[in-house]
Amino acid sequence: MSLITDIKVEIPDYNHMSQVMVYVTSESGHVGVGEAWWGIPSADNPGSTSIPIANVIEHLLAPRLIGKSSRTIEKHWFDLWDYGYRYADEGIFLMGLSGIDIALWDLLGKELNTSVCQLLGGPVHEKIPGYASLPALRDPEVVLSEVKRAMDAGFFAVKLHELDPIHVHNIRREFGNDLHIMVDVNGHFNKIEAIEVGKELAKGNVTWYEEPVRPMRDHAAIKEVGDRANVPIAAGENEYTLKNFEQILQSKALTYLQPEITKIGGITAAKRITGLTELYNTALSPHNMRIGPALSASIQWGFNSPMTAWQEVPWVRYEFAAQYKLPAVEDGYVLPPTEPGIGLIK
Ligand SMILES: [Mg+2]
């Protein structure tokens, strides 16, 4: 047995794309690194929107784990979940729990000198197709040059965060029909607009249309958009509990499910969602838009989940770079992690 001796939370000062980092130390001397959801980016006051989530970890969760065993992650998850239930079972509390949980799995892997994927039962896949996930760029020339930069790095799939379908047509004209193109509008449109945009995206043969409509969790509206525009739909990054995931899968709105590991409760919650994707025969594509523990943990999970179809790989310019490197990607495929824990690469 190894007891947890220290838990720290940090909001690194990179830029407006902040992160909420969690460090859990045990008597073994190892430090597990995790990440909670980062908050809505603030250009004016970078990091400020992450503070409420960091506070959950520092003031509600961490004090309840000090002195406990680092080997009983499942028990800790349920004890903290039970404790926090009166703060609500979705939202900021679960984001904080996600950061703690990922750090605990990283710590356990380091203590046992094996990868989290191995702890979960080992990889199901030899490699996973990755897609380069571009930030919102808006300028047509910049979109094309960033797509080209991703293709030059070996990617055969890109995701845009653009609202105007013209960008898809531009990319098709410039780079042909073989490239996979995903389009994420983050729930920007009302239902009527979302259907019209979806029809245009269908003409560009997109691989999926992501969070097409607001509110983002209106499952019936999402299904109607997909049906009427005849385009595959991806969503799920704003769902939280196992019950939420059951509900969105029951709606039959989705071709691709995209849980965000920093919102759902970390790896302990993720392994339950694996079972749901099998039960509802739905492709899994773990969501993530940061380079660091969230991406590494998502990859460990993705390799262990039979239904994994794609892995999101943030494709950000140098000024958004964090303290960690992208994981191994070869010819557009994410390779199995081998390092202990979640396999962060400095
Ligand atoms: Mg998204």
Short-list 208, 339, 181, CA closest to 283: 208
> Are 34 and 96 in contact, with CB atoms under 8 Å apart?
no
> Residue holding tokens 């759902």?
264
Average pLDDT over residues 201-225: 98
Structural domains present in the chain: 4-113 (3.30.390.10), 119-334 (3.20.20.120)
Q: Is pLDDT of 15 > 80?
A: no
Residues with CB under 5 A from ligand 1 (ion): 184, 210
Distance in Å, CA 133 to ligand 1 centroid: 9
What DSSP letter does each residue of 24-58 carry, written as one string? Answer: EEETTS-EEEEEE---S--SSSTTGGGHHHHHIII
Supply the pLDDT for residue 4. 98
What tokens appear for 97 in the block? 């729990």
- Give pLDDT, residue 320: 60
Tell me the pLDDT tens digit for each residue of 314-330: 998 765 667 788 888 99
- Residue 116 DSSP SS3: helix
How far, in Å, is the centroid of ligand 1 from the Cα of 3?
A: 37
24 is written with which tokens? Answer: 């859990």
Give the Å distance between the CA of 316 and the centre of ligand 1: 15
Other CB atoms within a 10 A radius of the CB of residue 189 amount to 19
Could you report the per-residue pLDDT of 143-185, keeping only the tens digit for each?
Answer: 999 999 999 999 999 999 999 999 999 999 999 999 999 999 9
For ligand 1, the distance from its centroid to the CA atom of residue 250, given in whole angstroms, is 20
Tell me the CA–centroid distance for residue 174 and ligand 1, in Å: 25
Query: How much distance in Å is there from the Cα of 307 to the middle of ligand 1?
Result: 19
User: What mean pLDDT is reported for the chain?
Assistant: 95
CA distances from 253 to 70, 221, 257, 311 (A): 39, 9, 10, 20
If one compares 34 and 17, the residue with the highest pLDDT of the two is 34
Cα-to-centroid distance, 15 and ligand 1 (Å): 20
Cα 323 to Cα 15, 70, 83, 227, 345, distances in angstroms: 12, 26, 33, 42, 9
The residues, any chain, with a CB within 8 Å of residue 152's CB and separated by 6 or more, are none
Q: Which pLDDT belongs to residue 327?
A: 86
Between the CA of 182 and the centroid of ligand 1 the distance, in Å, is 10
* Residue 234 CA to ligand 1 centre (angstroms): 8
More confident residue, 161 or 16: 161
The CA 313 to ligand 1 mean position distance, Å, reads: 12
Per residue in 89-119, pLDDT (tens digit) is: 899 999 999 999 999 999 999 999 999 999 9
